[in-house]
Amino acid sequence: MNIEVTETVKDRYSSGAAKREAELCCPIDYDPKYLVVIPADVIERDYGCGDPSQYVGEGETVLDLGSGTGKICFIASQIVGVEGRVIGVDMTEDMIAVANAAAPLVAERIGYANVEFRRGEIQDLRTDLDLLDAYVRENPVSSAEDYQALQSQMARARDTEPLVADDSVDVVVSNCVLNLVDDSLKRDLFAEMFRVLKRGGRIAISDIVSDEPSPQHLKDDPELWSGCVSGALVEQEFVELLEEIGFHGITIDKWDDDPWRVVEGIEYRSMTILAWKG
């Protein structure tokens, strides 16, 4: 994935936080009883291809990767209850701004606050981008020496103040976001999910997968990549990568017979997969 595609992803989802983009999501039926308390601007700007919130339980700590405007987080917050906790991670400031504005309203309506949103990249759950920004504002980088100091500070922060700590989460969920991560970083992404899970914890990932590899010219298309198409893993590749990282009990719980998109004969469809850290 080149720099142009990376910037297109950020720009497209920043735009999607301000105005709904229908092409960024598949039709999904959520349990309506959980939607009543969620502000309309969150629901209208939600993008996904499944409902991983149905796999979380009461009292659990849930991590939502690519949480966007927070819809899955706000649904999960009602399921886990007052004893549970929900953490949303997203790299897009505009998305997090919408989520943070909605959080007090949801808390008031359900009677408790158990959701927080953190800014970071889902393939690097150690680096807190807000902490990094704060450091750079106070210590501008204008020389090689400054850059070395920044590197040292980042290394310390990743160890002492990680965005998400080791072995701290019961369930990792994600809704149509993993495919947006650069292919060269997808293994890091899966390893980070494994790292933050408690022993016995699990993942519930809804994502787009393909029936055959996407050729490079499709991967280089900014619209197809940011539209959750050409960055998709091949179905079997997804399972094999989970096995390599150390997950077990891997189960494809939902697999759409009908593809969401067909591009140059390649079928892209929604799949929900479960796996455990043993």
Contact 47, 177 (CB under 8 A): no
* Rounded CA separation 269/26 (Å): 9
Residue 42 pLDDT > 60: yes
Residue 1 pLDDT > 80: no
Q: Which of 158, 27, 16, 200 is nearest to 95 (CA)?
A: 16
Question: CB-based contacts of 21: which residues, under 8 Å, 6+ apart?
Answer: 12, 15, 47
Query: pLDDT category, 17, cuts 50, 70, 90?
Result: very low
Q: Which of the pair, 44 or 163, is modelled with greater confidence? A: 163
Q: How, if at all, do strands 85-90 and 115-119 pair?
A: parallel
pTM exceeding the 0.85 threshold for the entire prediction: yes
Residue 232 pLDDT > 70: yes
Scanning 111-234, the segments in alpha helix (DSSP H) are: 129-138, 144-160, 186-196, 216-219, 222-226
Residue 33 pLDDT > 80: yes
Contact 183, 210 (CB under 8 A): no
* 232 secondary structure, DSSP code: P
